[in-house]
Amino acid sequence: MRILLSLVVLALGSAGAQETPTQRAAATEVLARLEALQTRIDASVLARRLTTARSATRDAVVERARALWEGELQAMSDDITRHPEIGFEERRSVGILVDWLRAHDFEVTVGVADLPTAFRATYRKGTPGPQLGVIVEYDALRGTVRDYHGDQHSAQGPIGLAAAVAVAEFLTRTGTPGTVTVIGTPAEEMMPPPSKTVMHERGVFAGLDVAVRSHSSTDTQRPAPGFGSCCLNIDGVKYVFSGAPAHQMMPWEGRDALTAVVRFFTNVDGIRKNIRPEARIQGIITEGGKAPNVVPDRAVADYYIRYPDEVYLAQVRQMVDDAARAAALATGTRVSIEPYGSMRDGISVGALNEVAFAYVRRYGGTRVREAPQKPQGWEETGSVSRDLPGVGFSAYSSSGGFHTYEMEADALNDIGHTGFRIDAMAMAALLHDFATDAPFRTKVREEFAATKALFGDYLTALRSAYPVPVVR
């Protein structure tokens, strides 16, 4: 899942801001404090210090990650790509990943948070010190023709494993304090509910000081600091309409739930002109009856309701819910509104972003977008990246679009293989620096805590920017 815009983009000088003057005025003071924070952190200077300094230990870790990728893990990535498994069904993929981790001195627990394909793997030889988290995904997309790895999640596990083992071995070899934990997070492409949210609420991420993750990309990206999401804030909601069955020759004796769903879609289309243009309301009909000669007494619509921030999203959601209620009232049916998941803005840490971006460039990233892009948390749900500092690595790995068969094909050729290797090397380098450089860790903690505090002020400010029209 990728895409979005954020109010912070405007403050950082990026093009394409969508905010109204009212919104900009509401958050001006918060954005000024965010800019002052970034001046104090001075992430670009930090990145230059870390990534240009000579370090034999870092270079050895990076070369080990490269060797692991080229020796075993690229083939593992290709194998998972060729055997796609959708969310919560990734048993084969998980088996491959955890077997490899166990063979490299990791203690693995599968089925954490009561999710059968989620796992947590901790390095057996770790010691008290920085707790380094590596997040991996492995689910495929649900396709109409076939399931497929059109987002290249098949590579995320092998990339993360290369970095995790290279750094873990370094910690033991040099006696450096710390440990590495690999967390397998299933079903990233599926709500309900986001698996990372469930795992976070169940304590699976507890104790980590930092988290890293990779993701496919159509260019080499550089996220801006602040608060945002890759894919807009989302509410996932099912609208279940109940009617009464009857023979279609005498439909007046029943109540048609499918007609209610069709009316609901018409109602949603009718409100689009009264909501801000940045909103996205996307729905499908998942149930609409079983036979054309029976009046359907049950029909279900599944909607993703999206907006760049959660404040106005609440207004959009209310309007969509009311559109469903109106459809039920107009057709003599009933509707049950069943929210099943949400995704929210996360916190984007400049000190981590700049170091990650510099390393990706150093190790060969191409199609580089020099200007900072929209802020986004390191994972899509927002729930974890609001509570745990982290960074995503996104070297150019496909010339196709996200969620396409072309992106899957690139996972098996040189474009993907090169990007994945670069991500593994850059990830290993950053984890080495986080484990060995106390001032770096301090800046990350300081920036994360201050940005999190500002995020609360940001939401408070936005609440004044969306007045609800008074209908008299």
Q: What was the pLDDT predicted at 44?
A: 96
Confidence of residue 25 (pLDDT cuts 50, 70, 90): confident
Neighbours of 282 (CB within 10 A): 11
CB 257 within 8 A of CB 333: yes
Residues 362 and 245 in one domain: no
pLDDT tens-digit map of 176-201: 999 999 999 999 998 766 899 999 99
Phi first, then psi, for residue 91 (nearest 5°) are -70, -40
User: In this structure, is residue 324 part of a structural domain?
Assistant: yes
CA separation for the pair 82, 420 (Å, rounded): 16
Q: What was the pLDDT predicted at 143?
A: 92
CA separation for the pair 263, 246 (Å, rounded): 20
User: In this structure, is residue 464 part of a structural domain?
Assistant: no
Residue recorded with tokens 């698996």: 195
User: In this structure, is residue 3 part of a structural domain?
Assistant: no
The yes-or-no verdict on residue 14 having pLDDT over 50 is no
**CA nearest neighbour of 139 among 121, 122, 157:** 157
Among 293, 325, 343, identify where a domain stops: 343
CA separation for the pair 159, 69 (Å, rounded): 7
Among 343, 368, 389, identify where a domain stops: 343
pLDDT tens-digit map of 121-141: 999 999 999 999 999 999 999
Q: At what angle do helices 414-436 and 350-362 cross, to 10 degrees?
A: 130
The yes-or-no verdict on residue 174 having pLDDT over 90 is yes
pLDDT tens-digit map of 198-216: 999 999 999 999 999 999 9
CA separation for the pair 159, 164 (Å, rounded): 9
User: In this structure, is residue 385 part of a structural domain?
Assistant: yes
Query: Mean pLDDT throughout 349-369?
Result: 97
Neighbours of 319 (CB within 10 A): 17
Q: What was the pLDDT predicted at 231?
A: 86
What three-state secondary structure class fits 32? helix
CA separation for the pair 337, 240 (Å, rounded): 7
Structure tokens at 172: 């033991």
pTM of the model: 0.91
Element (H, E) at 38: helix 21-41
Query: Mean pLDDT throughout 356-371?
Result: 96
Residues 91 and 183 in one domain: yes
CA separation for the pair 397, 415 (Å, rounded): 5
List the beta bridge partners of residue 392.
Answer: 213
Residues 148 and 200 in one domain: yes
With a pLDDT cut of 90, the percent of the chain lying above it is 85
Least reliable range by pLDDT among 173-177, 225-229, 245-249, 323-327: 225-229
Least reliable range by pLDDT among 149-163, 328-342, 365-379: 365-379
Q: List, in order, residues 6 or more apart from 24 with CB less than 8 Å away.
A: 7, 10
The yes-or-no verdict on residue 286 having pLDDT over 90 is yes
User: In this structure, is residue 466 part of a structural domain?
Assistant: no
Among 294, 314, 343, identify where a domain stops: 343
CA separation for the pair 68, 274 (Å, rounded): 54
User: In this structure, is residue 85 part of a structural domain?
Assistant: yes
**Domain range holding 352?**
9-228+348-459
Q: What was the pLDDT predicted at 24?
A: 61
The yes-or-no verdict on residue 375 having pLDDT over 80 is yes
Query: Mean pLDDT throughout 351-357?
Result: 98
Helices within 342-471 (DSSP H only): 350-362, 405-410, 414-436, 438-462
Mean pLDDT for all residues in the chain = 93
Helix (DSSP H) and strand (DSSP E) numbers for the chain? 14, 12
Q: List, in order, residues 6 or more apart from 298 with CB less than 8 Å away.
A: 240, 241, 242, 243, 257, 287, 289
Residues 358 and 393 in one domain: yes
Residues 203 and 142 in one domain: yes
CB 303 within 8 A of CB 236: yes
Confidence of residue 23 (pLDDT cuts 50, 70, 90): low
- CA terminus-to-terminus distance, the chain: 41
Handedness of CA 138, 143, 148, 149 (dihedral sign): negative
User: In this structure, is residue 20 part of a structural domain?
Assistant: yes
**CA nearest neighbour of 403 among 147, 155, 159:** 147
CA separation for the pair 68, 65 (Å, rounded): 5
Q: List, in order, residues 6 or more apart from 195 with CB less than 8 Å away.
A: 87, 113, 115, 118, 185, 186, 187, 188
Looking at the structure of the chain, the number of domains it has is 2
**CA nearest neighbour of 188 among 135, 237, 130, 139:** 139
Residues 365 and 250 in one domain: no
**CA nearest neighbour of 62 among 303, 282, 364:** 364
pLDDT tens-digit map of 64-122: 999 999 999 999 999 999 999 999 999 999 999 999 999 999 999 999 999 999 999 99
CA separation for the pair 404, 419 (Å, rounded): 17
pLDDT tens-digit map of 42-53: 999 999 999 999
**CA nearest neighbour of 153 among 232, 90, 247:** 90
Residues 37 and 87 in one domain: yes
**CA nearest neighbour of 5 among 395, 373, 448, 453:** 373
DSSP 467: P
Question: What radius of gyration, in Å, describes the C-alpha atoms of the chain?
Answer: 24
Residues 355 and 313 in one domain: no
The CATH number linked to 67 is 3.40.630.10
Neighbours of 221 (CB within 10 A): 26
Residues 405 and 387 in one domain: yes
The yes-or-no verdict on residue 3 having pLDDT over 60 is no
Q: What was the pLDDT predicted at 22?
A: 54
Residues 195 and 217 in one domain: yes
User: In this structure, is residue 17 part of a structural domain?
Assistant: yes
The CATH number linked to 322 is 3.30.70.360
Residues 374 and 299 in one domain: no
Residues 329 and 371 in one domain: no
